[in-house]
Amino acid sequence: MLVSTKGRYALRVMIDLAEHQAEGMIPLKIIAQRQEISEKYLESIIKLLVKAHFLSGLRGKGGGYQLTRAPEQYTIGSILRLTEDSLAPVSCVSENAGVCSRAAGCRTLAMWQGLEQVINSYLDNITLSDLMRRDADGDDYVI
């Protein structure tokens, strides 16, 4: 599993909005500047997040974007599954995979399925709220 820039940027946008939720609607331009992401690229990411009801948006003066729920109600897994084609470690265990003709005799299938469960479980147990905490040891990495 390799998380794309779309997935990483979506996380950055969601964390940014969570950290600034008291400010109300945040214009796209401000988010793009704070996160150093192209506005054009950010538009496509925001569109996905709005369509999935992760964000609400308002056009015009005083418009912008904001979270639709509290930060603790968004899991990192849900955000990444929205932006990535798959979080599966190999194609044969992804949701879109067809039936593999070798599945019945595959000695590694159960291992890959187990790894996928570990990945999903791990990412589903981390919330935006968790990533907003800057004081935890080891949380000094950049997404």
Residue 100 is assigned to a structural domain of this protein: yes
Q: What is the pTM of this model?
A: 0.86
What are the two backbone dihedrals, phi and then psi, of residue 65, each rounded to the nearest 5 degrees?
-135, 155
Number of domains in the chain: 1
Residue 92 is assigned to a structural domain of this protein: yes
Residue 42 is assigned to a structural domain of this protein: yes
* CA-closest candidate to residue 19, choices 74, 59, 58: 74
Q: 64: which strand partners? A: 58
Residue 105 is assigned to a structural domain of this protein: yes
Residue 137 is assigned to a structural domain of this protein: no
Polymer length of the chain: 143
> Which structural domain, as residue segments, surrounds residue 89?
1-129
Residue 34 has pLDDT above 90, yes or no: yes
Q: What percent of the chain has pLDDT over 70?
A: 93
Residue 114 is assigned to a structural domain of this protein: yes
Overall average pLDDT of the 47-67 stretch: 94
Round to whole Å and give the CA distance between 31 and 37.
8
Q: 65: which strand partners? A: 26, 57
Burial of 30 (0-12, 13-18, 19+ CB in 10 A): middle
Question: Domain of 64: which CATH number?
Answer: 1.10.10.10
Q: Write out pLDDT tens, residues 78-135.
A: 999 999 978 888 888 887 777 777 878 889 889 999 999 999 999 999 999 999 976 6
* CA-closest candidate to residue 87, choices 113, 120, 111: 120
Residue 139 is assigned to a structural domain of this protein: no
Residue 143 is assigned to a structural domain of this protein: no
Of 5-14, 43-52, 98-107, minimum mean pLDDT range: 98-107
pLDDT-derived band at 142 (thresholds 50, 70, 90) equals low
